[in-house]
Structure 1
Amino acid sequence: MADTPETLTMTLDGGDVTIKLRPDLAPQHVERIAGLANEGFYDGVVFHRVIPGFMAQGGDPTGTGMGGSEKPDLPAEFSKEPHVRGVCSMARTQNPNSANSQFFICFDDARFLDGQYTVWGEVTDGMDLIDALPKGEPPANPGKIVKMRAA
């Protein structure tokens, strides 16, 4: 579709993170993330699971890792795209078709996830802000998304 957004701007306390969207890999997931972002769904949502050397996970409005949006879960859109530093991918349960609103951003090489999680974007600017998120499962004082919008 012609009006597919190309980027997502995630504002954190320290500034903006720019994510290049990848509708070529996961059109339904890009549409979901962009749609939820523009509805304000992610505003104020915390990163509830931040594991050094692995990834930062957020997108759950309850902040527990157990919640999601009211929209139906998405069918998997797995690709051969590698899970490397800066890659944005969808979190899910053991069911491959259970991605909803939660996502994670890789801090480092996590290629053991390749082909099992849906890659939908890549951080092009502001990765230092992701690196600076408070660590923990959950962090004592979790970092939060101030605002997130697709354009």
Structure 2
Amino acid sequence: MAEIKDPENTIVLELKDGGRVVIELLPDVAPKHVERIKALARSGAYDNVAFHRVIEGFMAQTGDVQHGNMEKDFDLRRAGTGGSDLGDLPAEFSKLPHDRGTIGAARSQNPNSANSQFFINFSDNHFLNGQYTVYGRVIEGMDHVDRIQRGEPPQNPDRIVSMKVAADVQ
């Protein structure tokens, strides 16, 4: 198990079959994105949200808290088109590369349209560098991420069972 150095800036996801994914957040690089993901995690907004876009060799995208909840109003046709009721975030581009295991902010064509959705890179995707905000990296459980059901959207999407800030987990 990875050592959690800063529990306030670490996210713990539980995936299917008890798969635990630990994400180290990077508040020095993208403070607004880090604050947003922590606020939504603390509110329970990501719990039961589907991975609605999962492309082999590229990334797994999730975080549509408006249309992606598998227990409430999940709609496969609309998953990936929504966000949260909070405003969009300004881009926080950096020199950090989109390497395997990094977390990026999903957005529309507008660089300042990130909201709640994020993706986890399956491989080094350096063509995204400088175009999408990097604000975290998987430090444990990438093997669980690698097993997420593929598809755009997947026929039977995997979901985030729960997502919490490590400081809040007993």
| Same structural fold, with TM-score higher than 0.5 when normalized by the shorter chain | yes
Cα displacement (A) at 1:5: 1.9
Percent identity between the two aligned chains = 60
2:27 partner letter: P
Residue of structure 2 in register with 1:13 after alignment: 16
Bigger CA radius of gyration? 2
Query: Equivalents in 1 of 2:22, 2:7: separation in Å?
Result: 16
1:125-136 to 2 correspondences below 5 Å: 125-136=140-151
Give the TM-score of the pair, scaled to structure 2: 0.85
Structure 2 unaligned blocks of 5 or more: 1-5, 69-78
- Given candidates 67, 72, 75, the residue that maps to 2:87 is 72
Contact 1:85 1:108 in 2 (8 A): yes
Aligned-pair CA distance for 1:72: 0.2
Q: In the TM superposition, what is the alpha-carbon distance from 1:133 to its structure 2 partner?
A: 0.3
Q: How large is the RMSD of aligned CA atoms in angstroms?
A: 1.2
TM-score, with length taken from structure 1: 0.96
Mind listing any 5+ residue stretches in structure 1 that lack a counterpart?
none
1:95-120 alpha-carbon deviations (Å, 9 max, x no partner) = 00000000000000100000110111
Counterpart-to-counterpart distance in 1, 2:33 and 2:159:
21
Aligned residues: 149
Task: State the partner residue of 2:26.
Answer: 22
Match of 1:28, SS state, is helix
Q: Determine the structure 1 residue equivalent to 2:62.
A: 58
How far off is 1:6 after superposition? Answer: 1.9
